[in-house]
Structure 1
Amino acid sequence: MTVHVHAPKVETFDVAAMTNTDPKGFVRQVEEYRLEPWGLYMARPSDHPTFHYLESWLLPSLGIRVSVFHYLPEFRRDQDFYVDIGEFTAGDTVWTSVDHYLDLVIRSGQDTELLDVDELLDARVAGLLDAKTAQGAIECAAAAIDGIAAHGYLLEGWLASQGVQLSWRTRTETA
């Protein structure tokens, strides 16, 4: 059986140009960027078939990107936050992210689900990630899962314990 594994997804966040370039090279206009000592906030409309708006915080020191997807009513999901594990680098005007495959789905006050372990392992076997990066992704995901669980499965509680206070636009249509 042949498994297709993609290279780590790279994304750019051009604060000066107010654009976000996705891993496929599509450039989208951003409505808001906000810089805080702990990270970068982005809010933009989406042309995705299942959600119409995206909000994300890139948190380099924690190795995570926290997103809220504003789903169309017929595509709503049982999640409050979606967390990508990766490397997030701040530049003077352009930030970059390199996705390390692992993702978390957080249902506030209920649980945290780890996704895409198979993708991480396939990428490692294919030589797309070195051992140190793969181990770092696992350790980062484990720290986030433990921290969130220790705070009653509340992402905000764990982040506050790390000195991070996120703010969002209206939280309707996020489930």
Structure 2
Amino acid sequence: MTTQREIAEQLGLPVHPPKVEVFDLVANTNTDPKGHVRTVTHYAREPFGLYLARPMPGHPRIAAFESWLLPRLGLRVTRWYWHPGHEDDVDFYLDVADVEPGERQWRTVDHYLDIVVRDGRAAELLDVDEFVIAVRAELLDPETAERAMRRACAAVDGLARHGYDLPKWLRANGIELSWRGQPVQDPVPDQRTLPPSR
């Protein structure tokens, strides 16, 4: 019998095991899904998640990025910094993932679904086809797949209810993010916030 994975490969459709990343707070590194170890410029922990910033050496379009890992929401929220002339109409990129906190290391397991946020305008759910193929190929078990879809739907719904304003939606969830060079406005009461990274 031909498996779904073999069918996907025959059709040239993207199918791969869930991408795993490791964030080592002691070594100041980020091991990407391909096993490349990258130096992290800045890590900071908050009660709701982990912040990191690092350059993207050698990338043709992206110079650097900042991410927040948010375990409770099952999201990684990223802002990219583009090389001049390569800008894209993306304000935030959300990866749906299991986020596993730790004292020395954090770990994420990506669940294929992504959301592009265009501030104040739209949120677009991406890679549903890849998600479906992964589920059919049994790369995600039914419980994990359902959890991922629920997280993606909750994020898109929450963003829509808050006018596609990501900080406003997160604030309603008791989360106040701080980004490099961007002051925090209207912080959540009693919520410690990070100063911009240097």
Category of TM-score, reference length = shorter chain:
over 0.9
Q: Aligned with 1:123: secondary structure?
A: helix
Does 1:152 find its partner at 2:136?
Answer: no
2:14·2:130 contact (CA, 8 Å) conserved in 1?
no
Alignment-derived partner of residue 189 in structure 2: none
After TM superposition, list the pairs within 5 Å mapping 1:84-163 onto structure 2: 84-163=95-174
Task: Report the equivalent of 2:188.
Answer: none
**1:65 aligned to 53, 72, 76, which one?**
76
TM-fit CA distance, 1:132: 1.0
Q: Where does the alignment leave 5 or more consecutive residues of structure 1 unmatched?
A: none
Q: Choose between structure 1 and 2 for higher RCO, CA contacts under 8 A separated by at least 6 residues.
A: 1
Counterpart of 1:16 (choices 15, 19, 26) is: 26
Letter in 2 for 1:161: A
The CA deviation at 1:4 is 4.0
Identity %: 52
Structure number having the greater strand percentage: 1
TM-score by length of 2: 0.84
Q: Return the alpha-carbon distance in structure 1 between the equivalents of residues 150 and 86 of structure 2.
A: 32
TM-score, length basis structure 1 = 0.95
Q: 1:44 aligns with which of 50, 54, 67?
A: 54
What stretches of structure 1 move > 4 A for 4+ residues in a row?
none
Residue aligned with 1:83, SS: strand
- In structure 2, the gaps of 5 or more residues are 1-9, 183-198
* Aligned counterparts of 1:75 and 1:135: Cα–Cα separation in 2: 36
Q: Give the total of aligned pairs.
A: 171
RMSD of aligned residue pairs (Cα, Å): 1.0
Supply the distance in 1 between the matched residues of 2:164 and 2:118 (Cα, whole angstroms).
Answer: 7
**Offset, 1:56:** 0.2
Whole-angstrom CA distance in 1 between matches of 2:116 and 2:128: 13
Q: 2:66 aligns with which of 42, 51, 55?
A: 55
